[in-house]
């Protein structure tokens, strides 16, 4: 009898344990696993980027900032940019996953409220099924400190000092500047020339002289010059600002050297005198430029240089010669410059925007607007107008520039910036607000407005808005400024997503140079 009693007690105990533990165990199993934050990093003075690991079988995630603000995301989203934060402030982030759980509830006719426990028959009304969330545990909290905010007024001078300070080199011809994300092993590249031009505009002629002295041989030949590229012409423009230096003789020879190289670029038939952007030794376009040998980039690379040549000839500072020994006349260069710019406007403009490249065989553009491509064009026209002594040409170019810039304003984002592919905006995957094109537009607007040939104040207002937008995304860390969202590089693409394949980088020359130039005009 005693044995039976003990057995009955054991069975009762097991049943009790089972009764109370199963629901608890089932409830625990229904919860998602604990979430994990992968990265948590400030990407501006008002933004922190957070990423987290995927939690299996979760329905979504809840991100909590400083224990107060909550953001919900679906199961496919594993990252978020938390914006509108205070600058120079530390924030705490944690995330948890959740599952959706369906639960039956009954109306309590006595209280008028639904409850999960069924009321007694007297007060039990209709039932309904509701979806509630079952949360997993919060991740370990992560902290990030937003950057120090820098004003537009302070940005230009600070950038100049920083870039020169970071790049005091014993031999400028070796390349390897901090602003060079393409990591070319030579100093003579268009983007290095762009940076040097920004320093020249800022009055840093001594630094420019060091750069050119190291890159040019005594006979005027240029170290590392890449034959067949309009890009290689661009750095030679800065030489005209140093014709009073002790190295003037070899600089004048380098100008002739560059002019001869530019003369060797083959003209593309029926394209207003425009030439191959890049070509092989036999004069045919290189593979990347075969379909669209004429591109907007080439104008800034070559035409300001030709204008400097023409004005220096007119001033009696230099003499230049074609390959056949004939002396170059300034008027010939002015005709070439105007013809090429005007033809591009007439044939590459579609709607409000300029398309990036042109195919002479089909007579069509690539149908894509790239912000930096159009930016090169705008900077070129703005500079040429200032240098153009032929009043008719200057007047017509002003009409062109005004029309192009007015069209661009229609695509300016509320932030002040333009998208990398302006006419697609955020709907194009990988398309982002981009600094280099934005800065180029701002420069052209301010250059024209300050020069008196763009009279509508809307251009100055748009440019200042753009520069304020760039300042807003600039961050300061350990005393150094970082400006991101600069698209690395591109040739002419046939589809819009072709301009979204390269990374966006920080403090890259093609962005920082125009930013400095535009700020000097602000």
Is 404 within 8 Å of 374 (Cβ atoms)?
A: yes
- Helix residue spans in 74-218 (DSSP H): 152-166, 190-201, 205-215
Distance of CA 35 to the CA centre of its chain: 33
Q: In this predicted structure, what is the pLDDT of residue 7?
A: 46
User: What would the pLDDT profile of 491-505 be if each residue is shown by its tens digit?
Assistant: 999 999 999 999 999
Measured CA angle at 400 (ends 396, 403), to 5 deg: 135
Q: Rounded to two decimals, what is the model's pTM?
A: 0.79
Q: How far apart are CA 466 and CA 408, in angstroms?
A: 12
Joined together, the tokens standing for residue 347 give 């044939």
Closest CA to 360 of 347, 350, 371: 347
Strand order in the sheet with 364-365: 294-295, 357-359, 364-365
Q: Which helix (H) or strand (E) holds 461?
A: helix 457-473
- Distance CA(488)–CA(492), nearest Å, equals 14
**Of 456, 457, 335, the residue nearest 397 (C-alpha):** 335
| 341 sits in which H/E element | helix 330-348
SS3 237: helix
**Residue closest to 32 by CA, chosen among 68, 84, 75:** 75
DSSP result, 290-304? SS--EETHHHHHHHH
As given in the structure block, the two tokens for residue 289 are 């430029």
CA distances from 267 to 91, 208, 275, 286, 349 (A): 58, 32, 4, 14, 21
Determine the Cα–Cα distance for residues 371 and 351; give it in Å rounded to an integer.
15
The candidate with the shortest Cα–Cα distance to 471, out of 422, 416, 402, is 416
DSSP state string for 361-421:
TTTEE-S---HHHHHHHHHHHHHHHHH---HHHHHHHHHHHHHHHHHHHTT--TTS-EESS
pLDDT at 197: 98
- CA nearest 192: which of 170, 202, 177, 206? 177
pLDDT of residue 3: 46
Taking alpha carbons only, the member of 50, 150, 147, 29 closest to residue 92 is 50
Give the integer Cα–Cα distance in Å for 134 and 30: 8
Which of helix, strand or coil describes residue 191? helix
Q: Is 409 within 8 Å of 458 (Cβ atoms)?
A: yes
Chain-centre distance for alpha carbon 390: 36
Half-sphere exposure of 184 (CA within 13 A, CB side): 17
- Backbone torsions φ then ψ of 130, nearest 5 degrees: -120, 155
Strand, coil or helix: what is 336?
Answer: helix
Asked whether the CA dihedral 458, 459, 460, 461 is positive or negative, the reply is: positive
CB-CB contact of 132 with 101 (8 Å): yes
Closest CA to 455 of 440, 442, 468, 445: 445
Helix (H) or strand (E) holding 135: strand 124-135
CA distance 483 to 472: 9
Q: Could you give the CA distance from residue 350 to residue 113 in angstroms, rounded to a whole number?
A: 63
Tens of pLDDT along the chain (522 residues) come to: 444 444 444 444 444 444 444 343 334 458 999 999 999 988 767 889 999 999 999 999 999 999 999 999 999 999 999 999 988 899 999 999 999 988 888 899 999 898 888 888 888 888 888 888 899 999 999 999 887 788 899 999 999 999 999 999 999 999 999 999 988 889 999 999 999 999 999 999 999 999 999 999 999 999 999 999 999 999 999 999 999 999 999 999 999 999 999 999 999 999 999 999 999 999 999 998 999 999 999 999 999 999 999 999 999 999 999 999 999 999 999 999 999 999 999 999 999 999 999 999 999 999 999 999 999 999 999 999 999 999 999 999 999 999 999 999 999 999 999 999 999 999 999 999 999 999 999 999 999 999 999 999 999 999 999 999 999 999 887 789 999 999 999 999 999 999 999 999 999 999 999 999 999 999
């Amino acid at each position: 009898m005693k044995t039976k009693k003990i057995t009955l007690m054991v069975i009762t105990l097991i049943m009790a344990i089972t009764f109370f533990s199963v629901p608890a165990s089932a409830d625990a199993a229904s919860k998602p696993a604990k979430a994990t934050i992968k990265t948590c990093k400030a990407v501006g003075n008002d933004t922190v980027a957070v990423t987290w690991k995927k939690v299996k079988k979760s329905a979504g995630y809840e991100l909590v900032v400083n224990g107060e603000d909550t953001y919900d995301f679906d199961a496919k989203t594993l990252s978020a940019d938390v914006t509108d934060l205070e600058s120079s402030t530390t924030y705490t982030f944690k995330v948890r996953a959740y599952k959706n759980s369906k639960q039956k509830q009954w109306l309590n006719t006595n209280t008028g409220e639904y409850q999960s426990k069924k009321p007694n028959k007297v007060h039990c009304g209709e039932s309904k099924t509701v979806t509630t969330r079952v949360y997993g545990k919060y991740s370990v909290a992560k902290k990030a400190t937003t950057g120090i905010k820098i004003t537009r007024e302070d940005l230009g001078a600070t950038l100049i000092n920083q870039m020169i300070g970071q790049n005091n080199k014993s031999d400028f011809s070796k390349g390897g500047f901090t602003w060079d994300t393409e990591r070319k092993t030579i100093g003579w590249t268009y983007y290095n020339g762009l940076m040097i031009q920004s320093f020249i505009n800022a009055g840093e002629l001594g630094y420019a002289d060091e750069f050119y002295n190291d890159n040019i041989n005594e006979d005027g030949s240029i170290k590392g010059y890449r034959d067949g590229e309009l890009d290689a012409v661009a750095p030679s423009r800065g030489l005209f600002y140093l014709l009073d230096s002790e190295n003037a003789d070899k600089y004048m020879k380098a100008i002739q050297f560059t002019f001869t190289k530019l003369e060797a670029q083959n003209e593309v038939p029926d394209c207003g005198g425009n030439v191959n952007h890049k070509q092989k030794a036999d004069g045919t376009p290189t593979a990347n430029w075969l379909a669209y040998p004429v591109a907007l980039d080439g104008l800034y690379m070559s035409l300001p240089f030709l204008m400097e040549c023409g004005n220096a000839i007119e001033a009696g500072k230099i003499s230049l010669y074609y390959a056949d020994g004939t002396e170059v006349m300034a008027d010939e260069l002015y005709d070439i410059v105007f013809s090429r710019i005007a033809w591009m406007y007439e044939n590459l403009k579609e709607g409000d925007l300029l398309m990036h490249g042109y195919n002479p065989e089909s007579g069509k553009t690539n149908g894509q607007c790239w912000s930096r491509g159009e930016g090169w064009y705008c900077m070129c026209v703005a500079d040429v107008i200032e240098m153009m002594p032929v009043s008719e040409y200057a007047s017509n170019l002003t009409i062109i520039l005004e029309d192009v810039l007015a069209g661009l304003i229609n695509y300016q984002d509320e932030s002040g910036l333009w998208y990398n592919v302006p006419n697609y905006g955020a709907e194009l995957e990988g398309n982002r607000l981009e600094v280099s094109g934005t800065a180029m537009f701002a420069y052209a607007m301010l250059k024209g407005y300050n020069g008196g040939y763009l009279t509508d104040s809307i251009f100055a207002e748009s440019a200042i808005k753009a520069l304020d937008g760039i300042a807003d995304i600039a961050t300061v860390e350990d005393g150094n400024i970082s400006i991101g969202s600069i698209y690395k590089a591109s040739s002419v693409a046939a589809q819009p997503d072709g301009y979204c394949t390269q990374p966006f980088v920080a403090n890259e020359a093609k962005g920082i140079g125009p930013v400095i130039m535009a700020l000097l005009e602000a």
